Structure 1
């Protein structure tokens, strides 16, 4: 045992032991760092997989939303085209203003046949009366009666096939 202590006291042995101790501490430190880095890498890989899953879910949701918006846009375009065609066809039909003017003219002509002394003043008076009668008919009881009984003329009497009232010659 004495010889063992002598070898330990030798400077080469002390340097070797000191170097081995430093190497063991460095090896343990490296081993611990490697384990810690391995855990961090696995943790980051799991987090990356989770984030990729969230990204895929978000992309699917956005794709579904975009598809829904595209379908809605196509539907709106189709409805817009249908409305445009309907509007064009309705504009080609005689409008309410033309029908109103035709009814006023018919009433004025009917009144002119009754009043015929002077054409111009009588015509203007007949047009005004027809307009007043038409406006009264559009907003009141005459309108209801005209809808319920379509054969009733503007002045209240039943209309004949020629457009004149009964009793007119």
Structure 2
């Protein structure tokens, strides 16, 4: 049997076959190790992917709840805005509001005239002093009674004649 083994080992074909089988075994072993590593990597990536899917689901839920809250707040603010717009329209229609607005317009116009017309200011200041004196007189005493009885224009004429009288 030994002779038979020695005769087989002495052929170059046998040595080529042995070298090919060893090479095949090394390649198979390397491939098996690579496949094992790839399976581990795939398992790790699947775990990470599952974790990322869970995280993404949580983020989507959080974003959805935040969007719902923002939409609810936006609807509430739109309703408040509409209520305030209606309230402003109602308040502007109340008696006296139009007159107050007109007074603001006139006040602004007077200030613009004071800026633009230099000769207007002294006459305006004199007219204001006369009007203040007239109002002060009409709030007390005889002029108040006359103003209630007669029209305001007649009361103004009466006040001018009584204030110009020295007595």
TM-score band w.r.t. shorter chain: 0.5 to 0.7
Q: CA RMSD in A?
A: 3.3
CA–CA separation in structure 2 for the residues paired with 1:4 and 1:73: 93
Would you say how many aligned residue pairs link Structure 1 and Structure 2?
A: 120
Name the stretch that deviates more: 34-43 or 87-96: 87-96
Query: C-alpha separation between the residues in 1 aligned to 2:159 and 2:74?
Result: 56
* Residue 59 of structure 2 corresponds to residue 55 of structure 1: no
Counterpart of 1:18 in structure 2 is 19
State whether structure 2 residue 46 is matched by structure 1 residue 45. yes
Hey, which bits of structure 1, 4+ residues long, moved more than 2 A? 95-99, 106-110, 118-125
C-alpha deviations, 1:116-168, integer Å up to 9, x for none? 8x74344579xxxxxxxxxxxxxxxxxxxxxxxxxxxxxxxxxxxxxxxxxxx
5 Å-filtered alignment, 1:111-130, equals 111-113=144-146, 119-123=155-159
Q: TM-score, structure 1 length as denominator?
A: 0.61
Q: Tell whether 2:109 aligns with 1:76.
A: no
Asked whether the equivalents of residues 7 and 13 of structure 1 are also in contact (C-alpha less than 8 Å), the reply is yes
The CA deviation at 1:2 is 3.0
Bigger RCO (CA 8 Å, 6+ sep): 1
The structure carrying a bigger helix percent of its residues is 2
